[in-house]
């Protein structure tokens, strides 16, 4: 019999000590290998079915298991992989049991029928879906028809050139927004988050530098014309309060979620993302930013950790069918020159894992001009977005307007030219 007792205990402990039922709801008591574990899971399920939240105090009335054994159950912040492991083991054990039940005097036809029946039951219960070329072709045709009708499957970012090039943010894509310090990458990410939410997407935003109040003040700033400093640290005039109220009216119904308590590690962020997807239907995620996520003790270097984390987020985007955008710092070795993919800080594996990479550059900060083909464009209040990698869409460059006080990036009707002295 194939068993994973450690994973079983982690799942049970997590169900009792955290709100993670949505992530493991595909499990049944038959997935657990011991009578005690099955009894604990059965008790947890009864509590949930009553509409209550399971915990150690409640579970003791549902089982005959000693309280000491329940209290000692460990927990994990990333429970889903462990649930998958014991679910797979249970399916394998069913097939093994079927094979062991075959008798020497059974006919070949009877043996095949029993095995096929077992396999069909397993495949019916599996989460994976095998698709054919015909299935995928029908999807391609559907995408083409939607594009012809102007119904792209990506969620619009609100930035004309970006949407024209990519069709918006797409499920399964892992995107990087990278820049040096003080270029406005958080503002750019918040602008996109606000815009995609305006188009109906449910968004989760994780920041390791700002809390939900600070992030929200920036979003309000981008639609009200007020600076976040005026909102949070100064007494506003009546006229400013009117503008504030107008701004709040524009964004208060947007479904943007924050989870400040889940940014202590990549494991807690991943666990929170899973919960957000299962509980709230999140389809777009932002993480600000990769280099601030604390390293785990399992890796030998920052470069290895960042690379592993980038690949993990890409796999998570595909697994949950959501779009994930992570922000990243750039190395300073290139000075104030326009950034390149090779400047991604700590790890070239970031670019390798990402489907899309956008490099943000504001030469105004350095008193420099734009590179070709934007050499004649004024740098004052503008920013270059270098779409330096697009796995499925290719590369491009475009200029946006930028108002630092309002943390607002915006489309330009025409490019402002340098004014000669």
Residues 203-217: what's their mean pLDDT? Answer: 94
List, for residues 140-160, the tens digit of each pLDDT value.
Answer: 898 888 878 877 778 999 999
Do 72 and 182 belong to one domain?
no
Do 219 and 366 belong to one domain?
yes
Please check whether residue 290 is in contact with residue 350, taking contact to mean a CB–CB distance below 8 angstroms: yes
304 part of a folded domain? yes
DSSP string, 300-333: S-HHHHHHHHHHHHHHHHHHHT-EEEEEEEB-ST
- State which H helix or E strand residue 258 sits in: strand 256-258
pLDDT tops 80 at residue 216: yes
More confident residue, 211 or 417: 211
Single residue among 76, 103, 125 that ends a domain in this structure: 125
pLDDT tops 60 at residue 210: yes
Do 115 and 181 belong to one domain?
no
Residues of the chain above pLDDT 90, percent: 48
State the CATH number of the domain containing residue 15.
Answer: 1.10.860.10
From CA 272, how far away is CA 263, in angstroms rounded? 9
Residues of the chain above pLDDT 70, percent: 94
418 part of a folded domain? no
pLDDT tops 90 at residue 397: yes
Please check whether residue 259 is in contact with residue 272, taking contact to mean a CB–CB distance below 8 angstroms: yes
Residues 379-386: what's their mean pLDDT? Answer: 95
Do 111 and 164 belong to one domain?
no
146 part of a folded domain? no
Q: What is the pLDDT confidence band of residue 415, given thresholds at 50, 70 and 90? A: confident
Q: What is the pLDDT confidence band of residue 328, given thresholds at 50, 70 and 90? A: very high
Do 288 and 209 belong to one domain?
yes
DSSP 374: S
Do 331 and 260 belong to one domain?
yes
Do 107 and 166 belong to one domain?
no
149 part of a folded domain? no
155 part of a folded domain? no
Mean pLDDT of the chain: 88
pLDDT tops 60 at residue 297: no
What is the SS3 assignment for 358?
strand
Q: What is the pLDDT confidence band of residue 298, given thresholds at 50, 70 and 90? A: low
Do 191 and 236 belong to one domain?
yes
Strands 382-390 and 396-403: antiparallel
From CA 91, how far away is CA 179, in angstroms rounded? 47
Q: Which range of residues forms the domain containing residue 296?
A: 160-410
Do 87 and 12 belong to one domain?
yes
Single residue among 101, 125, 149 that ends a domain in this structure: 125
Do 80 and 221 belong to one domain?
no
From CA 387, how far away is CA 385, in angstroms rounded? 6
From CA 23, how far away is CA 81, in angstroms rounded? 10
List, for residues 73-121, the tens digit of each pLDDT value.
Answer: 998 878 888 999 999 899 888 888 888 888 888 888 888 878 877 776 6
Q: What is the pLDDT confidence band of residue 126, given thresholds at 50, 70 and 90? A: low
Single residue among 80, 108, 125 that ends a domain in this structure: 125
Instruction: Please name which of 256, 288, 258 lies closest in space to residue 184, comparing C-alpha atoms.
Output: 288
Do 210 and 307 belong to one domain?
yes
| Model pLDDT, residue 148 | 82
pLDDT tops 70 at residue 420: no
Whether the CA torsion 351, 183, 368, 334 is positive or negative: it is negative
More confident residue, 146 or 381: 381
In sequence order, the 6+-apart residues with CB closer than 8 A to the CB of 106 are: 114
Please check whether residue 218 is in contact with residue 232, taking contact to mean a CB–CB distance below 8 angstroms: no
Q: How many CB atoms lie within 10 A of CB 108?
A: 7
The dihedrals phi and psi of 360, each to the nearest 5 degrees, come to -100, 130
Instruction: Please name which of 414, 392, 411 lies closest in space to residue 166, comparing C-alpha atoms.
Output: 392
Which residue do the tokens 């003040």 mark? 217
144 part of a folded domain? no
Cβ-in-10-Å burial (0-12, 13-18, 19+) of 123 comes to: exposed
Do 339 and 391 belong to one domain?
yes
131 part of a folded domain? no
Sheet holding 408-410, edge to edge: 256-258, 203-207, 284-288, 323-329, 174-179, 356-361, 382-390, 396-403, 408-410
| Model pLDDT, residue 26 | 87
| Model pLDDT, residue 421 | 45
State the CATH number of the domain containing residue 337.
Answer: 3.40.50.300
89 part of a folded domain? yes
The dihedrals phi and psi of 386, each to the nearest 5 degrees, come to -95, 105
> pTM for the full model?
0.74
- State which H helix or E strand residue 71 sits in: helix 67-71
pLDDT tops 80 at residue 393: yes
Please check whether residue 359 is in contact with residue 179, taking contact to mean a CB–CB distance below 8 angstroms: yes
Token output for 342: 């090779």
Based on the structure, what is the number of domains in the chain? 2
More confident residue, 196 or 55: 196
DSSP string, 278-305: HHH---EEEEE-GGGSPPPTT-S-HHHH
| Model pLDDT, residue 317 | 93
Residues 19-25: what's their mean pLDDT? Answer: 83
Residues 260-275: what's their mean pLDDT? Answer: 84
Residues 307-325: what's their mean pLDDT? Answer: 91
């Amino acid at each position: 019999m194939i068993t994973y007792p450690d994973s079983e205990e982690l799942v049970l402990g997590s169900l009792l000590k955290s709100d993670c039922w949505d992530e493991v709801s595909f499990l049944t008591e038959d997935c657990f290998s011991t009578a005690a574990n099955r009894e604990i899971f059965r008790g947890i399920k009864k509590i949930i079915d009553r509409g209550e939240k399971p915990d150690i105090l409640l579970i003791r009335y549902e089982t005959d298991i000693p309280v000491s054994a329940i209290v000692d159950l460990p927990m994990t912040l990333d429970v889903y992989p462990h649930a998958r492991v014991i679910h797979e083991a249970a399916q394998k054990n069913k097939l093994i049991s079927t094979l062991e039940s075959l008798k020497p005097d059974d006919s070949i036809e009877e043996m095949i029928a029993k095995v096929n029946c077992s396999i069909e039951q397993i495949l019916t219960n599996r989460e994976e879906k095998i698709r054919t070329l015909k299935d995928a072709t029908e999807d391609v045709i559907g995408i083409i028809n939607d594009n012809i009708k102007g119904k792209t499957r990506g969620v619009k970012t609100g930035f004309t050139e970006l949407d024209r090039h990519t069709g918006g943010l797409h499920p399964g894509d892992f995107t990087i927004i990278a820049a040096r310090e003080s270029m406005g990458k958080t503002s750019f990410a918040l602008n996109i988050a606000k815009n995609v939410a305006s188009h109906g997407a449910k968004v989760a935003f994780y920041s390791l530098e700002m809390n939900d109040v600070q992030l929200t003040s920036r979003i309000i700033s981008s639609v009200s014309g007020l600076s976040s400093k005026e909102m949070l640290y100064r007494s506003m005039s009546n006229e400013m309060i009117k503008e504030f109220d107008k701004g709040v009216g524009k964004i208060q119904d947007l479904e943007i979620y924050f989870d400040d308590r889940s940014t202590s590690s990549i494991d807690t962020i991943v666990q929170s993302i899973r919960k957000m997807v299962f509980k709230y239907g999140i389809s777009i995620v932002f993480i600000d930013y990769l280099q601030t996520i604390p390293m785990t003790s399992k890796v030998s270097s920052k470069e290895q950790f960042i690379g592993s984390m980038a690949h993990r987020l890409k796999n998570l985007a595909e697994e949950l069918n959501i779009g994930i955008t992570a922000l990243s710092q750039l190395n300073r070795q290139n000075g104030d020159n326009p950034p390149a993919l090779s400047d991604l800080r700590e790890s070239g594996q970031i670019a390798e894992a990402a489907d899309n990479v956008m490099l943000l550059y504001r030469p105004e900060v350095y008193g420099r001009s734009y590179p070709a083909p934007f050499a004649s464009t004024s740098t004052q209040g503008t920013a270059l977005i270098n779409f330096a990698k697009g796995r499925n869409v290719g590369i491009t460059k475009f200029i946006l307007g930028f108002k630092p006080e309002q943390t607002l990036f915006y489309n330009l009707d025409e490019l402002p030219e340098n004014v000669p002295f």
